[in-house]
Amino acid sequence: MRLYDTYTRSLVELPSAPGPIRMYVCGPTVYARAHIGNARPFVIGMWLRSWLRATGYDAQLVHNITDINDKIYDAAPGASAGLAARATGWYLEDTGDLGLGMPDRLPKATESVPQIVHFIEELIESGHAYAAGGDVYFRVASFPDYGRLSGQKLDQVEQGEEPSALKEDPRDFALWKANKPATEDTWWDSPWGRGRPGWHIECSAMAEEIFGPAFEIHGGGLDLVFPHHENEVAQSRALGHPFAQIWAHNGMLRFTGEKMSKSVGNVATIRETLDEWGREAVLVFFLTASWRKPIDFSPETMAQAAARRDTLRNAFTLAGAEHDEAGWAVFAAVLDDDFDTPAALAVLHEWASTGQLELLRRGLQVFGLESLAERAEAPAEVVELAEQRVAARAARDFETSDRLRDELGARGWQMRDEPGGAYTLVRDT
């Protein structure tokens, strides 16, 4: 399998199966309900793990929770830890309801502070970082490759994060921030005094704590390339660690013409979207676009995804056909080529229209959509109504039969007539 790598800007071949594929995908900062854009890296990460496992790899997914951050302090003055814990719960609940299972590990920054402190100490010892006034900064000038991941030229980078007189260079970034008692109600003791980790160092520390100094794939949103991931590589490679082999950045989800983001305010939460459209439509929606490209979220695109979901599900109410086992190779080939889910979706539709139901079921399973193959059993009262309708139709009492059909619809069941008084009951969504 090959995947597009941001660092080399090319398709990179994965080591051949079987073997370990260790994936680290950046997770959310927990201070509010996550929006549907936040779900994209999660979904892609889970699908990738699923596909890699299906093709013989020992794939592991680590997805971090950033529960130390200015946003959290700002959103809950004096009660940041409580908000972070609550929002972590929401995130686990919302992503859990996508029905894709859970990552292998979900490390939290607050539980990794000792590893982070240790990492910073090593950077100071090696001359790549320096302590100043209770803060610790990474010395960007000490790492010649800085800017290579994002393609930034150092002399063109605008002023870095918040300017500070303590920095040697304005582009240096904080690894450790001294506690500000007025606004920051959580802190940890460190060799540099009370404080808390910077954002970028947590990922380097947690990824390496779990995977060691080298792993195969690092994922996250395209908006994290600079400065977040640039800083991560700098920290880890400054210590001589290979770090990630492939940088897999997913495209942004757009809503109302621009990136969905809390700061713009054009958000729909995962919760709302699941409630309105159902998990299967949400997953089909993500399937329709290449993982690297932007995807437009709108009532129209969601409705189309829901219609496709129905087409796929309806296939299981029809008669199956002979299986063409060779068909699987086509499906595998498109996924192995940069995880082309739109092409895979076309294959699923092909199987749906030709009645290759066993292949279709297997294909859907890769994406957590095997539920589309399940036929819900109608409760006795629904079957009773259906039988009454069969009788009414036999008696050519169409007024009654139409009324019964409406009644079934109101109970969430669609009745499809078939020749000879037979019928199929399908659960509406």
Partner RNA sequence: GGCGCCUUGGCCGAGUGGUUAGGCAGCGGCCUGCAAAGCCGUUUACAGCAGUUCGAAUCUGCUAGGCGCCUCCA
Nearest residue (CB) to RNA, 240 versus 394: 394
The answer to whether the CB of 39 falls within 8 A of the CB of 95 is yes
Neighbours of 322 (CB within 10 A): 8
| 66 lies in the site for RNA, by CB under 7 A | yes
Q: Is 374 left (phi over 0), alpha (psi -120 to 50) or beta?
A: beta
Nearest residue (CB) to RNA, 66 versus 236: 66
CB of 425 to RNA, least distance (A): 11
Nearest residue (CB) to RNA, 125 versus 337: 337
| Contact residue for RNA among 375, 402, 412, 421 (CB under 7 A) | 402
Q: Is 421 left (phi over 0), alpha (psi -120 to 50) or beta?
A: left
| Contact residue for RNA among 172, 177, 393, 413 (CB under 7 A) | 393
Nearest residue (CB) to RNA, 69 versus 115: 69
From the list 107-115, 204-212, 322-330, 395-403, the region that binds RNA by CB under 7 A is: 395-403
| 222 lies in the site for RNA, by CB under 7 A | yes
- Does residue 191 have a cis bond before it (omega within 30 degrees)? no
| 429 lies in the site for RNA, by CB under 7 A | no
Segment 71 to 110, residues that bind RNA, using CB under 7 A: 71
From the list 100-108, 253-261, 273-281, 320-328, the region that binds RNA by CB under 7 A is: 253-261
What letter does residue 173 receive in the DSSP assignment? E
| 381 lies in the site for RNA, by CB under 7 A | no
Residues in contact with 354: Cβ distance below 8 Å, sequence separation at least 6, in sequence order: 321
Cα-Cα-Cα-Cα torsion 73, 79, 81, 86, nearest 10 degrees, comes to -100
In terms of Cα–Cα distance, which of 62, 52, 61 is closest to 18? 52
| 375 lies in the site for RNA, by CB under 7 A | no
Give the Cα separation of 383 and 378 in Å (integer): 6
| 346 lies in the site for RNA, by CB under 7 A | yes
Segment 264 to 323, residues that bind RNA, using CB under 7 A: 288-290, 293-296, 300-301, 303-304, 307-308, 310-311, 314, 317-318
Segment 16 to 35, residues that bind RNA, using CB under 7 A: 26-29
| 151 lies in the site for RNA, by CB under 7 A | yes
From the list 125-133, 159-167, 237-245, 363-371, the region that binds RNA by CB under 7 A is: 159-167
Cα 295–293–68 angle (5° rounding)? 80
What does each C-alpha distance from 356 to 319, 323, 334, 351, 361 come to in angstroms? Answer: 9, 6, 18, 5, 9
| 403 lies in the site for RNA, by CB under 7 A | no
